[in-house]
Amino acid sequence: MKKILNIAILAVVLVLAVVFWWRYYFVFGEGVKAGNLNFFVKKGYVFKTYEGRLIQDGFKSATPGAIQSNEFEFSVTSDSVAAILERNSGKLVELRYKEYLHKLPWRGNSNFVVIEVLKTEEGPKSNNFPN
């Protein structure tokens, strides 16, 4: 009886470990997004994480006649990637990211985690500001 109980406990612990890995560490998707880096900040109460928002070109909406902004909110775990993004606020950037099923507090406030900055370039000049 004791042997069966030990095997059952081991099986439950193993199943829970696999479920935890699947929910929080399994990479659901990878991709590249490009747009204007709207903001990039380091924030948090206990876990200080880097958070940013990318504004993508174009307006798309599933509902005809409605306008939807294409915003991509993301987190960054690497200090070297964060340093690059801090210097390029307001510029056009191209980012490689991983998508996880759920977020973790020490990984950021988003399911999307940027792992690499592929390209940065100056955005279009606005005529609203004097040179």
Is 62 among the domain residues?
A: yes
Is 88 among the domain residues?
A: yes
- Residue 129: pLDDT above 50? no
Distance CA 68, CA 59 (A): 6
For residue 131, what are the CA distances in angstroms to 47, 90, 125, 126, 128? 41, 17, 10, 10, 10
Is 130 among the domain residues?
A: no
Is 113 among the domain residues?
A: yes
With cut-offs at 50, 70 and 90, classify the pLDDT of residue 122: confident
- Residue 125: pLDDT above 70? no
* CATH number of the domain within which 91 lies: 2.40.50.140
User: How far apart are the two ends of the chain, measured CA to CA in Å?
Assistant: 82
Is 21 among the domain residues?
A: no
The pTM is what? 0.76
Is 89 among the domain residues?
A: yes
Note down the domain range covering 57.
28-121
Is 23 among the domain residues?
A: no
Number of structural domains the chain divides into: 1
Chain segment 47-83, per-residue pLDDT in tens:
999 999 999 876 656 666 666 668 999 999 999 999 9
The strand pair at 69-76 and 92-100 is best described as unpaired
Is 131 among the domain residues?
A: no
Chain segment 88-111, per-residue pLDDT in tens:
988 999 999 999 999 999 999 999
